[in-house]
């Protein structure tokens, strides 16, 4: 099954480091698009769409799925909770009016297309005066906080209802936490997950490397690329299947032992293909079905002390996130959320 990464929070994905990393390390790159034949893609996404690398995710697929009713109920509940909090705090629910002409590549937290709403929620938002000012292209101005609640829930359920091997992809921890937010109860064993930080180790194609060169490299040097990707995936799967802290530590040591040779082979393949690159960082969240005990006392709080392998760092720690009911059934045995941080000036701390 092809591995897909869903970019959040915008439709268009900037022509930069994140997109190049996604093209290199995933089979498909996606974002949430209002409708088919959407006319305002950037030239880069249009090109990748023609090659079959970029695949749009349409809300309509969710609206007609078995998750549709649960999705609508979740939206109403989350907005009701938000209204209750703002009322209790004595804050004013401010509505932010955006410029009507901001249509091209709109940020999803500013404008919302009516086709991203099922009819019942369109009426609900209209009755509560959260949306207004339709324009000829179907974009509505929407309360900024309500838009954030809606779009993160839409992304969450789009992943959950997908039959693909699909994961969330962001370029900031803040955007990742909008979907998989921190659990308020750190004693809740069900909220535990492993947080793998492979730091200053992930080759990031430089901005002057074309999409064509990346795709040609993937085709010609797929053995080296697949070995590199498989090494990371194996660590995630092993941690997912581990049934004790000791076994997690064993897989950690096993990964470190084989990482140096695997990464050096991959770096050499990139250099031989004249793909210039920097070393960037990757954070992966991995579910832990084993909940027999609180693992943070055995593995660490958020991130353990760094285990150094030459100039490279691997950190494995325990995080607490509300994620159990937000993962696609096709994506249960490995990483479910990825933060890719570009690096041009030495080590980046995540």
Q: Give residue-wise pLDDT tens across range 266-319.
A: 999 999 999 999 888 888 888 887 665 666 665 654 433 344 444 446 777 777
pLDDT value at 54 more than 90 = yes
Residue 29 domain-assigned? no
Residue 91 domain-assigned? yes
For 95-99, 112-116, 211-215, 260-264, which range has the lowest pLDDT when averaged over its residues?
Answer: 95-99
Total structural domains within the chain: 2
**Same domain? 196 vs 323:** yes
pLDDT value at 145 more than 60 = yes
Residue 56 domain-assigned? no
**Same domain? 227 vs 320:** yes
**Same domain? 217 vs 118:** no
Cis bond upstream, residue 9 (ω within 30): yes
pLDDT value at 265 more than 50 = yes
pLDDT value at 234 more than 50 = yes
**Same domain? 70 vs 102:** yes
- Report, as an integer, the average pLDDT of 204-208: 92
Instruction: Tell if the pTM clears 0.75, that is, is over it.
Output: yes
**Same domain? 308 vs 243:** yes
Residue 192 domain-assigned? yes
- Report, as an integer, the average pLDDT of 156-175: 84
| Segments forming the whole domain that contains residue 81 | 62-159
Last residue of a domain, one of 101, 126, 159: 159
Residue 307 domain-assigned? yes
Chain-wide mean pLDDT for the chain? 80
Which residues on adjacent β-strands are paired with residue 146?
Answer: none
**Same domain? 205 vs 93:** no
Please give the residue that has the higher pLDDT: either 225 or 345: 225
């Amino acid at each position: 099954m092809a591995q897909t990464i869903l970019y959040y929070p915008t439709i268009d994905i900037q022509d930069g480091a994140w997109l190049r990393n996604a093209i290199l390390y995933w089979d498909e790159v996606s974002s949430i698009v209002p409708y088919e034949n959407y006319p305002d893609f950037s030239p880069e996404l249009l090109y990748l769409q023609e090659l079959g690398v970029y695949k749009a995710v349409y809300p309509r697929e969710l609206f007609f799925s078995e998750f549709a009713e649960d999705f609508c109920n979740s939206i109403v509940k989350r907005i009701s909770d938000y209204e209750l909090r703002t009322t209790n705090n004595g804050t004013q629910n401010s509505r932010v009016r955006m410029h009507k002409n901001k249509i091209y590549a709109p940020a999803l937290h500013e404008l919302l297309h009516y086709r991203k709403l099922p009819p019942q929620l369109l009426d609900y938002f209209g009755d509560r005066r959260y949306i207004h000012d339709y324009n000829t292209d179907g974009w509505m101005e929407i309360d900024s906080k309500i838009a954030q609640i809606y779009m993160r829930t839409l992304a969450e359920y789009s992943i959950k209802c997908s039959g693909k091997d699909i994961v969330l992809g962001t370029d900031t921890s803040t955007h990742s936490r909008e979907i998989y937010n921190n659990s308020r109860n750190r004693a809740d064993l069900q909220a535990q997950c492993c947080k793998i930080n492979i730091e200053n180790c992930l080759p990031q194609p430089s901005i002057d490397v074309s999409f064509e060169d990346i795709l040609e490299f993937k085709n010609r040097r797929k053995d080296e690329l697949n070995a590199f990707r498989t090494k990371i995936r194996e660590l995630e799967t092993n941690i997912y299947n581990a049934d004790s802290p000791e076994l997690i530590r064993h897989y950690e040591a096993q990964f470190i032992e084989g990482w140096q040779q695997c990464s050096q082979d991959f770096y050499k393949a990139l250099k031989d293909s004249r793909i210039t690159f920097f070393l960037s960082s990757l954070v992966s969240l991995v579910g832990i079905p084993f909940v027999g005990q609180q693992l943070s006392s055995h593995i660490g709080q958020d991130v353990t002390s760094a285990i150094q392998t030459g100039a490279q760092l691997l950190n494995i720690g325990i995080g607490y996130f509300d994620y159990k009911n937000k993962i696609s059934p096709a994506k249960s045995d490995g990483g479910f959320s990825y933060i890719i941080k570009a690096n041009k000036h030495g080590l980046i701390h995540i």
